[in-house]
Amino acid sequence: MNNVSRRPTPPAIPLSTSLSFLVGRPRLLGWSVLLFVLTIALTWIGFLLTTGLIDNLTGSFFETAPIHSSWWGWIKYSGWLTARYLFVLISRLISFFLAFLVAYSLTTPLYGFLSASAEKIYWGKDFEDDGLSLAGILKDLLEGFKIAIFGVLITVAALFVGFVPIIGQIAVFLIYTYYSALMFIDYPASRRRWGLGRKLAWLRSHNEQTLRLGLVPAAITMIPVLNMFLLAAIFPLFTVHAALNFSAVELYHRSDR
């Protein structure tokens, strides 16, 4: 079955319930703290390497400022200065996103373990586990890499869409909302050996759950400087939150068949 049909879904598990569940499980909480530190470290290293590479390749673009001894010179200088700051801001945002995608790809098996552990504890006997294996870990890495590449394409598309006034900004936010939700449902969906196409079909079929899962992470992604720390901080929580909501929907559909 390659497509996910549209069906009524059960009431969503609130974020407060997921938070209480995570905090009340010392092992899950400890694993989450470890993942937070690891995600921060990998993202920061990737960010430094990416920004260093961009600066080396583009450093000569803004080396010489226009002469501003006349009113026309001041206009050119103001334009040059604005372009310089915008370039730095955009390049840093792109560097952060790319660095985070690399960190996301490398830590996929670890977050997958957190997701599966949360499902197993929460659902008990209803949890279907295929066990930990090397093939499963490699599959998780492959799926994480595919979603990271998909994220790069999303970023390129968002850059062009963002030039459209008002509508473009709303569209970009919705794009990142759906992509954020995709990153989180990747873990429980990959454990069930779903491909990228089926994951995207699930998002389209469950718009309400998708918005609830992706709205807050998408908003945090757009906060300069603090986005890396805030996103890494909430990532374990939303991994657990997405796993519980995803499995709730799937269990509901399974019992409805």
Cβ contact 239:232 at 8 Å: no
Among 37, 139, 48, which Cα is nearest to 96's? 48
Q: How confident is the model at residue 256 (pLDDT cuts 50, 70, 90)?
A: low
pTM of whole model > 0.85?
Answer: no
| Cβ atoms < 10 Å from Cβ of 149 | 13
Which tokens sit at 213? 């899962």
Residue 18: pLDDT over 90: yes
Mean pLDDT taken over the chain? 80
Among 172, 153, 150, which Cα is nearest to 161's? 172
Contacts (Cβ under 8 Å, ≥6 apart) of 25: 121
* Residue 142 vs residues 29, 88, 108, 191: alpha-carbon distances, Å: 26, 32, 9, 12
Best mean pLDDT range from 80-84, 130-134, 245-249: 245-249
How wide is the angle at C-alpha 76 spanned by C-alphas 72 and 78, nearest 5°? 115
* Residue 222 vs residues 94, 137, 153, 168, 226: alpha-carbon distances, Å: 11, 31, 17, 15, 9
Predicted confidence at residue 66, as pLDDT, reads 65
Contacts (Cβ under 8 Å, ≥6 apart) of 257: none
Which tokens sit at 135? 């093939």
Q: How confident is the model at residue 219 (pLDDT cuts 50, 70, 90)?
A: confident
Of the listed ranges 45-49, 62-66, 73-77, 139-143, the least confidently predicted one is 62-66
Domain boundaries in the chain?
21-41+107-256
Give the integer Cα–Cα distance in Å for 253 and 244.
14
Among 239, 226, 240, which Cα is nearest to 43's? 226
Best mean pLDDT range from 67-71, 130-134, 174-178: 174-178
How wide is the angle at C-alpha 31 spanned by C-alphas 26 and 34, nearest 5°? 125
**Residue at token pair 């879904």:** 9
Chain segment 67-126, per-residue pLDDT in tens: 666 766 677 767 767 766 777 777 777 777 778 778 888 888 889 889 989 998 988 766
Q: How confident is the model at residue 4 (pLDDT cuts 50, 70, 90)?
A: very low
Predicted confidence at residue 126, as pLDDT, reads 60
